[in-house]
Amino acid sequence: MTERTKKVKMLSPVMKRNNMIAVQNRKTITDSKLLCINLISSPGAGKTTLLERLAERLGGRLAVIEGDVQTSRDANRVNRAGSYAFQIETGGSCHLDAGSVSEALQEMKPFRDEWEFLVIENVGNLICPSGYFLGEHITAGMLSLPEGDDKIMKYPALFTRIDTLLLNKIDLEAQLRFDLKRAENECRSLNPDVSIYRISAETSQGLDELIRYFESERTQVYS
């Protein structure tokens, strides 16, 4: 006798619960007048280096939630650069969810009065984090030039939903065959309203413009 099995789809209930917690996260964040950015990229794209440079400029105005499979190395780097950082170790999970961010927000309380920006550095991955709303105001996807200009169409789930595309390691443009226009045009073909910034976290190129963008977005949210 052949045993019959039934597949039970769990994605919808899981995402419903995630989104309910994310809405509460947004309220917690908004009550403190923080602009929250969910920063997503593949490993090695330069997220933590960018946060170090932002910490050097913003200091106590910036708080960071660091998501990593293991170790607190990234949080330590941001702390040394001048901003507060809270580490989440996922223990194997390839993304952060709203529940883990909620727990981090509770641990971080009371929020400091000088904080204006909260960046959530998601686990390095172009696939898993793209489906999880965490409560952020801005979802930012980072693509570094060494990864190649073909990645946007290969990973459309992420690049379709981001608000901001950061093209990082622009200082290497002369050494690489990366077509910036192709990447920008392909992202806009998926996502016409996306904001795009060419930056180099290593050399700080484009960072002043990026900070002005974040400041403008915060003003709009709380005006």
Q: Is residue 4, in this structure, part of any structural domain at all? A: no
In the three-class reduction of DSSP (H, G, I as helix; E, B as strand; rest coil), residue 193 is classed as: coil
Full DSSP string of 118-177: EEEE--S-SSGGGG---S-SEEEEEEEGGG-TTHHHHSHHHHHH-SEEEEE-GGGGGGS-
Q: Render pLDDT for 109-118 as a digit per residue (tens, 0 to 9).
A: 889 999 999 9
Q: Is residue 6, in this structure, part of any structural domain at all? A: no
Q: Render pLDDT for 183-214 as a digit per residue (tens, 0 to 9).
A: 999 999 999 999 999 999 999 999 999 999 99
Q: Render pLDDT for 49-91 as a digit per residue (tens, 0 to 9).
A: 999 999 999 999 999 999 987 788 999 999 999 999 999 988 7
Q: Is residue 123, in this structure, part of any structural domain at all? A: yes
Query: Are the C-beta atoms of residues 70 and 91 closer than 8 Å to each other?
Result: yes
In the three-class reduction of DSSP (H, G, I as helix; E, B as strand; rest coil), residue 68 is classed as: strand
Domain span holding position 80: 17-222
Domain of 131, CATH number, reads: 3.40.50.300
In the three-class reduction of DSSP (H, G, I as helix; E, B as strand; rest coil), residue 195 is classed as: strand
166 vs 125, more confident: 166
User: What is the tally of structural domains in the chain?
Assistant: 1
Q: Is residue 51, in this structure, part of any structural domain at all? A: yes
Q: Is residue 101, in this structure, part of any structural domain at all? A: yes
Q: Is the pLDDT of residue 134 over 90?
A: yes
DSSP state of 92: T
- The pTM of the whole model exceeds 0.75: yes
